[in-house]
Amino acid sequence: MHLIVLLVRKCAHLIEYTVFALLLWRALRKPMKNDPRPWIWREARLALLIVALYAASDEFHQSFVPTRTALVSDVFVDTAGGAAGLLALWAFGRRKNAGDPEP
């Protein structure tokens, strides 16, 4: 039972930080409907950096809470969730644009 709870919590963190990264990317990019601009990796890197820093600050905060444990591995899990979300967004954009006819 403990393993199931652990897996569910880690998956929840992955999903939470995936959404966080996508929202950060959107805030940085400020996309418009039918945005013709190409993918810019600098925006994705900045979003991922913010995700990693936020995850690290969250773990640092947890080190001061008696009932919580701060783990570096949680920072990696959270950052991996952010990276997965951004890579999925990039792949979705490539797939979508591959089906678009050339102007």
The pTM (predicted TM-score) of the whole model is 0.85
What does the pLDDT profile of the chain (103 residues) look like in tens digits? 889 988 998 999 999 999 999 999 999 998 888 778 888 999 999 999 999 999 999 999 999 999 998 999 999 999 999 999 999 999 998 887 776 655 5
**17: closest CA among 72, 84, 62?**
84
